[in-house]
Amino acid sequence: MKFSSNTINLSNKKVLSQDEKSVYLLVGPPSVGKSTWLKSNLPDAFVISRDDIVDEVASEFGLTYDDLFANPDKNLQIGDKDEKFGTVIKKPHYLPSFLPDKVWDKVTNANGEVHKRLQNRIQEAKLSGGNIVVDMTNMNAKSRQGMLKNFKDLNGYKKKVVDFKFEGEEVQNAIKEIKNQRAREIAEQGGSKTIPDHVMDSMFGRYEPPSKGEGFDDMIDVDDRVRILDQAKRIRENQ
């Protein structure tokens, strides 16, 4: 099977074949332009976005996006209560090891609902009959392979990766500026969705370029760094 790599422009809406059904995994940090590319190139695709599910669930639980990542202060004890986050409980065994030993029960339940809905969304996508897009960061091979496993039984679909270029310190700083501006806009609307700069730096550092060996039939490179730099410049000029 031929494996090709194409660099495309965000404004080009005809670079993707409409004659074959595909699962597209988007790869790139927040604010790199994944959603913009998606709207321009695959507006009718079935989109799987964990961020969208987090926003949805958080709202239903009376929380914000940021609240779903909250942990109890170290001086709180098991059984202590908070009006917003619920009760401090011992971390369930199924939660990842990087979380502290004590967690909020309401936050834990909300994240459990996020996981459930993400799995449901994947199943709905497989039954949709159209193109499928996984709009998540997918920054390393392990995360991409974990997602691809969900579609191994989906016959007649190509597996494609869309890799958004963000290399270069100037570009990465620009991405953080765009991200921070979006956080301010969300805050003005009463929400809360912040990603600290050090988390972004860690994400940049964990990036592993996708490869054919991960199970992809095709690779699409999106280099939109000029737009990213221009957008960050406009933000600075308007401050």
Residues with Cβ within 8 Å of residue 136, at least 6 apart in sequence: 26, 48, 49, 50, 51, 143, 147
**Residues paired with residue 162 on neighbouring β-strands, in sequence order:** 26, 220
Q: What angle do CA 203, 206, 211 make, to 5 degrees?
A: 120
DSSP state of 214: G
Q: Which domains does the chain have, with CATH numbers?
A: 5-45+130-238 (3.40.50.300), 64-128 (no CATH)
Per-residue pLDDT tens digits of the chain, which is 239 residues long: 232 334 444 433 434 555 689 999 999 999 999 999 999 999 999 999 999 999 999 999 999 999 999 999 999 999 999 999 999 999 999 998 889 999 999 999 999 999 999 999 999 999 999 999 999 999 999 999 999 999 999 999 999 999 999 999 999 999 999 999 999 999 999 889 999 999 999 999 999 999 999 999 999 999 999 999 999 999 999 88
Classify strands 86-90 and 102-104 as parallel, antiparallel or unpaired: antiparallel
